[in-house]
Structures are given as structure tokens and as C-alpha cells.
Amino acid sequence: MQKLRELFSDTLVYGISSVLARFINYLLVPLYTDVFSPAKYGIVGLIYAGITFLNVVFTFGMESAYLRYAENRKEAAHIFKTLQLSLLGFATILCGLLWLAMPVLLPVFNLTADLSGIFLLMLGILWFDTLSIVPMAELRLVRRTWLFASLKFMNVIINLGLNLYLILGLNFGIEAVFISNLAASFLMTILVWIFTADLLKGQWKTKWIKTAFEFGWPFVPSGIGYAINEMLDRFLLNNMDPANAERIYGDGTTPEDIVGIYNACYKMAVFMLLLVQMYRMAWQPFFMRHAADKESPALFGQAFIWFNGFSAILFLVVALFKEQIVAITVPGLNATLIGSDYWMGLDIVPFLLLAYWFHGWYINFSSGVFIKEKTRVLYKITLMGAVITIIANLLLIPYYGMTGSAAATLLSYSAMAVSLGYFSKKVMDVPYRLPQSFILMAILALLVFGEPIWINILSTEMAARWAVLVTGITVTVVYLWRYTRPEK
């Protein structure tokens, strides 16, 4: 239990900073949805979708490679310098190539010639974010969690402050979103370089390029698959038949509007994504530190059970009370958490929460693959998920629009999690209690999606939601009580 407390402690530190940072950053959603039309906000979604895709190519799996090999502190400085200089050259070349291709790429992001500056801002964000990857991984590896958290928090504060100043003070358009992001990324990268400057005293060692490449390259197709799962739906919704958009959502609704609405409501899934991300930040260094322990399989199994417990409660609260959450008024902005023009997309939220819960399973199952250096399976599984995403979106969007895209995301993440769980069990036998964990998730999903039945029984929506919440929490507590007790 002491080792689990170590995991919980690191997760809490990452979590506090991430929760605060995400909460502050989330204040931008009511600002954007109040100031920008759905079509304009759709451009923001497309640009950040592009950043997600391109980040995979720019970083080339070097974050994971550094975490894997810099655990050897005698070689850490050499690995750090070699990877950092390699990324500097690689990112610069890629930015140059994308700049040359700009005329072809602008229409992909719904950018006109007068908005071409946004494309250049996107390249700047990519360049600085790439050069902060290895230094930030170093902070995680040596458990400088508070410094890591402080830098991330500062990044968000700067981003938020500049957005408010540029949009509300100077009446900037959507360019303000990316100017603010670039300034925040620039400052965070400079500071993390300063805090890790001692490691640049290492020597360039070509062998580490080869080693890191062999370990990291599977993360590129894997990352592209992940980006497809996360972001391709924006582009597919943007290209849906306008007639279908009007048939599903009413006269005058355009695909550009749908992208903006989808992007805004997708933000509600950030609560589950936040839990998964802060867990991942602590989980990867944790399982590498305890990889050689005899009791590590049991330890990893217990961590998975507790992760499911927290995910279950979060799923219930957000899925059941999504309408109340988005209607919260943000002090000082005189706007709701998400503008009312965007509420028509809230049906996607339960699907996306479940999808990210499955993504958390995927993160848990990755431990055996990392420890046994079987990372090549990751890209195969993620590309399988990408194929499911593409096919399901193409089949479902014409009939169900945004809900079809959200359901496609759920199908993809669940297939990926189950596949990796099956493979991980072969390379490292961990007692994950998968059937029982899946039953927990299925029961809670049935409770949430069966809410209309509860409303018919109890007559009022709020009474039904509280009944579902109490029932779901009871089921979760029984699950935790049953599977976290020490084996006799």
C-alpha cells in the first residue's frame, strides 16, 4: 500500500496543478463561445486538431524513449543532449517544409489568405512545444513534480491572461487564441531549458539516436492513430453533406457550425481526460521504478482497480449533470460555461466520457509493454483503432451527426483497450479483474443511458438523476470493497 500511496501522491500533485490549470484554461471556453460564432470557433478546433496530428511527427516518440532510458542516471546527460539537439534540427526542418506547403494546407483548416498568419503561429507553437518535451520528461522522471506542475500552471495563466487582454481589451479576433498560446509556450520552454541546463553538459552520442529511434518510432504511427481517434472527427464533420446537417440539426445549420458546437461540447469530456492525463503523468515513471519488484503485478492490478473507482464516480457526475454544469455562470464574464448556442451537442458527452475511461485502461495496460520493450504492438493497436474511427465516422455521421462521431470514438477506444489488455496479459500477468471491471462500466453506462426510464418512474428529472447517482456510487463502492481487499 505504501507504493500505491506514492502513486497517489504523484497523481495528486499532477492532479492539483492540472485541475487548477484546466479549470482556469476552461474559462476560455465561455469566452470563445460567447465572442465567436460556431463557425469561427470551428477554425480553432481544426487548428488544434492539426497541432495534435503534427505533434506526433515532431516529437517522434522521444518523450517515451527518454523516460525509458534516462532512468540510467549515468547516461542521462548524454541522452538528454543528444535527443534535444536532434529534436531542434528535426523540428526546424519540418517547420520549413510546412511553411512551403502553406498555400495547399490553408483550405484544410478553413483559413483564408487574410488569416494565413494563424498558420505561422501554429508552426511556432509546434516548434516550442517540441523543444520542451524532453526537459519536461526529465522533471517527471526525477520526480520534480512541483516544478513540473508550476511550469504547466504558469503556461495556462499566461495563456488565459493574454486571451482576455487581446480579445476583451483589444478586440482581437481568433488570432488572439494562437498568439496567446505561442507566448505561453515560448516562456515555458525557455524556463524549462534553464532548469535542466546542467544536462546539456553531456556529450553527443550517436548510439542514443539509434536506440531512441528504435524504441520511439512505433510511437509515431501509434500517435498518428491516436490523433486520428481524437481529432479526425472535426475534419469529417466539417466535410459532411450540408443537407444532412440541416436535416439533423435544423435549417440554416452548416457543417462549420457543427464543428464549432462539437468542439465546444467535447470540452465536457475534459473532466475524464484530465483524470487520465494526470494519472498517466504519475503512472509511467511509477511502473518503470517498480518494474523489477516481485510484487509489481499485484501492485499494478490494484492501481487499475482504484483508477476504475475514481473514473466511475467522475463518469456518473458529469454524464448526469452535464446540463447543469454547462449552465454555470462564470463570474466576471457574464457568460455560461458553454454558450447556450452550443448546447444542442451535449448528447455526445456520455459517449466521450466512456471513451476516455477506456483510454485510461489503455494507459494502465501499457506498463507490461513498456517494461518488456514490446512497444511495436502499440502502433498496430492504435492504427486498428484509427481504422475503426474512420469507418465508423463515415458510416454514422450522415445519420447521427455529432453523436455518430462520439460513438465512433467510443468504439475505437474500447477496441484498443481490450486489444492491448489481451496482449499485455501475455507479456506480464497482472490481475486486472477485467470481466468485473467491464461489468462495472456496463452497469453505470446502462444507468446513465437508461435515465429516461428512471424519469418515468420517479416523475422528475432531478430525482431520477440523484437516484441513478446513488445507485451507481453504491455499485462502485461494492466493486472497490470487493477487489481492493488483501488476498487471504
In tens, the pLDDT along 320-366 reads: 999 999 888 877 667 788 888 889 999 999 999 999 999 999 988 88
Residue 206 lies in a domain: yes
Residue 69 lies in a domain: yes
What's the number of domains the chain is made of? Answer: 1
For the record, the C-alpha cell of 323 comes out as: 446540463
> What does DSSP assign to residue 173?
-
Residue 171 lies in a domain: yes
In terms of pTM, does the model score above 0.85?
A: no
Residue 167 lies in a domain: yes
Distances (CA, A) of 115 to 45, 160, 176, 254, 426: 15, 22, 12, 21, 51
pLDDT band at 488 (very low <50, low <70, confident <90, very high): very low
| Domain region containing 94 | 61-216
Residue 101 lies in a domain: yes
The answer to whether 169 and 143 are in contact (CB under 8 A) is: no
Work out the average pLDDT over 26-37.
78
For the record, the C-alpha cell of 446 comes out as: 446502462
Question: Could you tell me if residue 293 is left (phi over 0), alpha (psi between -120 and 50 degrees) or otherwise beta?
Answer: beta
Kindly report the backbone phi and psi dihedral angles of residue 336, in degrees, each rounded to the nearest multiple of 5, phi listed first. -75, 165
Q: Is 329 helix (H, G, I), strand (E, B) or coil?
A: strand
Residue 85 lies in a domain: yes
The answer to whether 45 and 262 are in contact (CB under 8 A) is: yes
304 Cβ contact list (under 8 Å, min separation 6): 361, 364, 430, 432, 433, 437
The pLDDT assigned to 30 comes to 78
Q: What mean pLDDT is reported for the chain?
A: 85
Largest CA-CA distance found in the chain, in angstroms, rounded? 71
Residue 365 lies in a domain: no
The lowest-confidence range among 191-200, 222-231, 239-248, 381-390 is 222-231
**Alpha carbon distance 443, 92 (integer Å):** 50
**Alpha carbon distance 17, 302 (integer Å):** 25
**Alpha carbon distance 61, 52 (integer Å):** 14
**Alpha carbon distance 363, 273 (integer Å):** 12
Residue 43 lies in a domain: no
